[in-house]
Homo-oligomer: A and B are copies of this chain.
Amino acid sequence: MISAATLDAFRAIAGPKGLIEDRDLIAPWLEDWRGKYHGEAAAILMPRTTAEVAAMVRTANDLGVPLVPQGGNTSMVGGATPPVDGSALILSTRAMNHIRSIDIAANLAICEAGVILSNLHEAAEKAGRRFPLSLGAKGSATIGGLISTNAGGTQVLRHGTMRALVEGIEAVLPDGAIHNGIAALKKDNRGYDLKQLLIGAEGTIGIVTAASLRLAPAIADRAVAWVGVTDPEQALALLRHMEAQVGPVVEGFEVMAADTLRFVLDVIPGTRQPIETVTPWNALIEIDLDAAADGPGAHDRMEAALAAAFERGLVVDAAIAANEAQAEQFWRMRESASEAERSQGPALQFDVSVPIALMPRFMVEAAAACEARFPGATASSFGHLGDGNVHYHVRAPQGEGPGRGADWIATTGAEATRFVNDLVVSMGGSISAEHGIGQMKIDEFARLTAPAQLNAVRAIKRALDPHGLFNPGKLVPLASAS
């Protein structure tokens, strides 16, 4: 698809290091990390500077070559996998991996797009600060990808998603122009907010090249508790209680059903039942204090708030981690939930959100409805209660053969997906809380989104990327015939 002359034109911009053609080097980047999506690309562009990105985009315009921006390639929705027909080139930001500055007084870091999240964590820690967003893929995921997918994670309750942490942005637009909005301005009401538009746009209308990111004070004192509760309704009441008792220092509030916990205990080495009572539901709570916190320590606050919760009948059983090792152990059980669920055989995985007040109902009713509708399938959920975000798994009927295991996924998966997504939408929820649309959710996005919004999304894409060169086939459903 891509001619040698075209590759030469790109090579001329950044030299041989700026264009990878070695098939062995390219191969890992042609499929997503879960191996669900496979694409083709003649080369990977590796710009080292924003100017090189801009020059490459201008060349792509001149020659009509679509570009697929790629960071750590950790998309959950095939968002960074190139089209199968080989018509596009990958533009990797991984060589743009400098932290340009860390301003301790202003609590700001300026990072290039290819900086890996865990590297920013380390740099912030060395500066006596922290970057309060983390997720499982932190060792690969890049700042550019995290911005382009408005990533979440386990600290959203207190610190918000990536959107809340981005103070300024630099990006190359589809015509090759550089948008320099890197200055961190807390107040800036000059026209439409391009920064906000680029966050979560999955590289379809701009390639983020750098960003100013807000840092938080380092954690000086933390307490982590494992709490047994009867149901998600009680877990939500407990969350409200904790917020009222200890305020915004509640940094994490995760919930997990008993069956998910059982899978974790069965499958993950070194884990053990964290509280004496086996309860139908579990909550993991973290309180973090920084050095400025006055008054009682995190453990004392947790203890007092949980004691009051016991009195109010909001808790069945609870254990506060006695030390950092136990705190890590509690978190490892939560973080192993996905892996443990996967060990139970083929499953459909949903990343959905509903208004927080409706989340308990969703967690209970969606599982029951799914199991009733698809006999033999089992459903469970875990996730970020305080964010209204639940990771919801529907496991295929156990065993092999027709209507079971992988066969069930293949034959019934699409129908079950529509069934769950319909439930989500009926509660005013989102079929993509954290992961974006990419290519995986594009049909369901089109099916379930009102024409008003869909038309606006298409109009914005056409307006900013009239030749359709940025991340084709992602996020924006093609206009239907109707």
* A residues in contact (CB < 8 Å) with B: 103, 105-106, 149-150, 152, 156, 161, 163-164, 173, 175, 177-181, 183-194, 196-197, 199-201, 205, 217, 240, 243-248, 290-296, 301, 353-357, 384, 386-389, 428-437, 445, 449-453, 455-457, 459-464, 475-476
Contacts and interface: CB of A to CB of B under 8 A. Distances in A.
30 contacts: A103-B357, A105-B240, A106-B356, A150-B189, A173-B455, A177-B450, A179-B450, A179-B456, A183-B428, A185-B388, A185-B429, A186-B353, A186-B356, A187-B387, A187-B388, A187-B433, A188-B432, A189-B435, A191-B449, A192-B200, A192-B460, A193-B199, A194-B457, A244-B291, A245-B292, A246-B292, A247-B293, A295-B295, A295-B296, A463-B463
A468 to B, nearest CB: 14
How many chain copies does the complex carry? 2
Contact of A190 (B243, B301, B432, B452): B432
A402 to B, nearest CB: 35
Interface centre among A161, A355, A432 (most CB of B within 10 A): A355
A269 to B, nearest CB: 31
Interface centre among A105, A200, A428, A456 (most CB of B within 10 A): A456
B453 A181 contact: yes
Given A185-B388, A295-B296, A430-B185, A193 B190 contact: no
Contact of A177 (B185, B357, B388, B451): B451
Contact of A196 (B152, B193, B389): B193
A463 B455 CA distance: 10
A452 B205 CA distance: 12
Interface centre among A181, A189, A389 (most CB of B within 10 A): A189
Contacts of A357: 103, 105-106
Interface centre among A194, A201, A387, A463 (most CB of B within 10 A): A463
Interchain residue pairs A-B with the least CB separation, the first 6: A295-B295, A177-B452, A463-B463, A247-B292, A196-B196, A183-B428
Given A357-B105, A457-B192, A452 B186 contact: no
Contact of A246 (B196, B243, B294): B294
A43 to B, nearest CB: 26
Interface centre among A178, A179, A191 (most CB of B within 10 A): A191
